[in-house]
Homo-oligomer: A and B are copies of this chain.
Amino acid sequence: MAEIFPVVFLPSGRRGEFAAGTPLLEAARQLGVDIDSVCGGRGLCGRCQIHCMTGNFPKHNMTASIDHLSAFTETERRFEERKGALSAGRRLSCHALIEGPLLIDVPPESQVHRQVVRKSAVARDIDLDLDFHLHFVTVSAATLDEGGSDLSRLKQALADQWGLENLTYDTSVLAQIHAALVEGEGDVTAAIFRGDPQPRIGAVWPGLVDHVYGIAMDIGSTTVALHLTDLTTGEVVVSNGAMNPQIRFGEDLMSRVSYVLMHPEGTAEMTSEIRSTVNQLITEAAAEAGIETGHIIEMAVAGNPIMHHLFLGIDPSPLGSAPFELAIDQAVIMPARELGLKICPGGRLYLPPCIAGHVGADTTSVILSEQPYKSEVITLIVDIGTNAEIVLGNQHKLLACSSPTGPAFEGAQLSCGQRATAGAIERVRIDRVTLGVRYRVIGSELWSDDPDFAESVADLSITGICGSGIIEAIAEMYLAGVLTADGVIRAALAETSDRVIPDGRTFAFELISGEIPVRITQNDVRQIQLAKAALYAGVKLLMDRFPVETIDRIKIAGAFGSNIDVKYAMVLGLIPDCGLDQVVSVGNAASTGVRIALLNAAARAELESVVQNVEKIETATEADFQQYFVDAMAIPHKTDPFSQLFQVVEKPAEVRAASTSGSRGGRRGRRKRTD
């Protein structure tokens, strides 16, 4: 009889007794310890690396040593030749045999369910819980006597070598197996998707494949963003983006629906356009990463309901009028090739669930990212794009709506507006007395009054102002007394300041003069007022319906949210009162959510369960929404906390005299717009 030794695995602390000569990987398997392996114990993939501790460990009641493992093998030496030396204490657990008491640490990169730090502005961990696994197998050669087929021999090998029984297959693998067997000389890697009742062979590649990829994508009305992700590590390898080509059919959602209503082939046209762009982005990203598109085997895609339907080839026109009926609200999982997506033919596409006609897979992705359903704290999430997606609630209740802010926050439809790209004004300060302007532009770290500013922007062309810039400009105009609470540029100031200049029958405020002047016109102010009123009215509606009087925490998502100074958002009344330290920008939360959906099958299930209980509020048909919208047009007069945050200056005497005399007693007393 072989001697028996204790073995403890960390971090799980699982412990067992094993006969001398047992491979460590085998011991781990028996204890249910989470160690990865793709090559099936052949010392090829290196995924099963462990760290062997040496010393006396009273807590575990053992004296452990790396010498209690069998000698370093020729296979491990060959692995080091190919992939680089193993660090001290490291062994391939498939080749190290137990020969004494052992304390084994399984490093995170060897765990199947490891955590990954994502590369983005807001660092957060995403657990890997993929719904497939890679299996390397050696398939016996076909003979005349045996009969059968390539598929049956592959299935037999997967059964013999990995204990995988009862497998079904994606039809696309039929065209792959033979070539893979020939090229790999019998060695192939199969991707096996989880499945109930039958797991499924989704792809077969020649030789050992230990890195495969996924794509997380957010299809917005205006832009499409794609993240090519290494599913082995969870890391984003390449990010890529493009304009949504459907823009030529209409800038906003409703004009695209109108296009469909007026063109019988409209859905097919727009579906074809977006899928082409997505394929182009996939091809480019794969080329940049130096990988084959055939190694991309999962995709997760977020988008508002109209983008979601058009991507799937479903007529979106029912979403354009009451009752705003979705074709499907549950999550969609399907072969990606059904949409003609050029990834691995057996690869899968996942779309998170939608909630209602205006509350789609983009909003549910935000919910997955920010998880308001896990906290007691009442959280407001606003995701600002061409529409604002708004979610309010906590672990007991969640409400959601979508509010038509239009594209002003993205810099569109403004006289000097532009996207948030290099050369756009993004920060503005206006002197309370002189009305002198300081600003910063994207691409320079310096303010415009810095002596080195001119040099720092020498290569940039300053041509306009982006969404976050105009919010600051309008808030500063208000704080400097240029703007009334109703959003009117004070005409009287034209007499004392050359920055306030006539513009047709109204006035404009000039930020930059010269050849390409940048001005905020009265109409620009109106556009921002309309947008912020829509946003605030949506928030107010959700607060009413919850019902709740105050918000504990506010999360601003989206590119706009990443750039904005939240103080200014509060000055303008985009968001309700909340302690400033409780207002955070969470970056592109829809993208984060869809990345989580890509990497974590359990999170998908959790989301699908959570959204069943999200209450949707339909802004388009709520009478209250119209009233809140009108009420929210004005710029709120707040003494607190803004008096502490901003220098409150005396307004010029003329201006004070010219100002309207009505009551402005805080939020409740906000005046209706009368012009």
Interface residues in chain A, defined as those with a beta carbon under 8 Å from any beta carbon in chain B: 142-144, 147-152, 171, 174-175, 177-179, 196-197, 312-315, 318, 322-330, 332, 334, 337-338, 354-356, 616, 618, 621
Contacts and interface: CB of A to CB of B under 8 A. Distances in A.
A175 B327 contact: yes
Contact of A618 (B144, B171, B354): B144
Contacts of A147: 329, 355-356, 616
Contacts of A152: 328-330
A318 B148 CA distance: 13
A325 B154 CA distance: 13
Nearest to A148: B329
Most buried by B among A150, A312, A332, A355: A150
A575 B629 CA distance: 90
Q: What is the total number of copies of this protein in its complex? A: 2
B175 A328 contact: no
A468 to B, nearest CB: 35
Given A171-B338, A338-B171, A618-B144, A325 B356 contact: no
Contacts of A174: 312, 314, 327-328, 332
Contacts of A143: 323
A327 to B, nearest CB: 5
Contacts of A330: 149, 151-152
Nearest to A328: B151
Contacts of A318: 150, 178
A536 to B, nearest CB: 23
Given A171-B332, A171-B338, A178 B327 contact: yes
Given A144-B323, A174-B312, A314-B175, A328 B621 contact: no
A306 to B, nearest CB: 14
Nearest to A144: B323
A585 to B, nearest CB: 31
A142 B322 CA distance: 9
Contacts of A326: 148-150
Nearest to A152: B329
23 contacts: A144-B621, A147-B355, A147-B356, A148-B326, A148-B329, A149-B328, A150-B318, A150-B325, A150-B326, A151-B327, A151-B329, A151-B330, A152-B328, A171-B312, A171-B334, A171-B338, A174-B314, A175-B312, A175-B327, A178-B318, A178-B327, A196-B197, A337-B338
B327 A149 contact: yes
B327 A177 contact: yes
Given A147-B616, A175-B312, 12 more contacts: A143-B323, A144-B324, A150-B318, A150-B325, A150-B326, A152-B328, A171-B338, A174-B312, A175-B314, A178-B327, A179-B315, A197-B197
Contacts of A322: 144
Most buried by B among A149, A315, A323, A356: A149
Contacts of A332: 171, 174
Contacts of A354: 149
Given A334-B171, A338-B171, A325 B151 contact: no
Contacts of A177: 327
B325 A149 contact: yes
A149 B351 CA distance: 15
A112 B186 CA distance: 49
A322 B143 CA distance: 8
A325 B171 contact: no
Contacts of A618: 144
Nearest to A324: B144
A509 to B, nearest CB: 43
A75 to B, nearest CB: 31
A342 to B, nearest CB: 15
A206 to B, nearest CB: 14
Given A328-B174, A329-B149, A356-B147, A142 B315 contact: no
A312 B173 CA distance: 11
A355 B148 CA distance: 8
Most buried by B among A148, A196, A197, A325: A325
A563 B664 CA distance: 101
A315 B178 contact: yes
A175 B318 CA distance: 12
Nearest to A622: B144
Contacts of A150: 318, 325-328
A177 B327 CA distance: 7
A462 to B, nearest CB: 47
A309 to B, nearest CB: 8
A325 B151 CA distance: 10
Contacts of A355: 147
A160 B546 CA distance: 33
A325 B178 contact: yes
Contacts of A148: 326, 329
Contacts of A196: 197
Contacts of A328: 149-152, 174
Contacts of A151: 327-330
Please name the 3 residue pairs, one residue from A and one from B, whose CB atoms are nearest each other, closest first. A149-B326, A149-B329, A142-B325
A202 B324 CA distance: 25
A325 B174 CA distance: 12
Contacts of A171: 312, 332, 334, 338
A142 B323 contact: yes
A355 to B, nearest CB: 8
A356 B616 CA distance: 58
Contacts of A325: 142, 149-150, 178
Nearest to A312: B174
A274 to B, nearest CB: 15
A212 B327 CA distance: 24
A164 to B, nearest CB: 17
A173 to B, nearest CB: 9
Contacts of A337: 338
Contacts of A324: 144
A318 B178 CA distance: 8
Nearest to A337: B338
A325 B327 CA distance: 45
Contacts of A616: 147
Contacts of A178: 314-315, 318, 325, 327
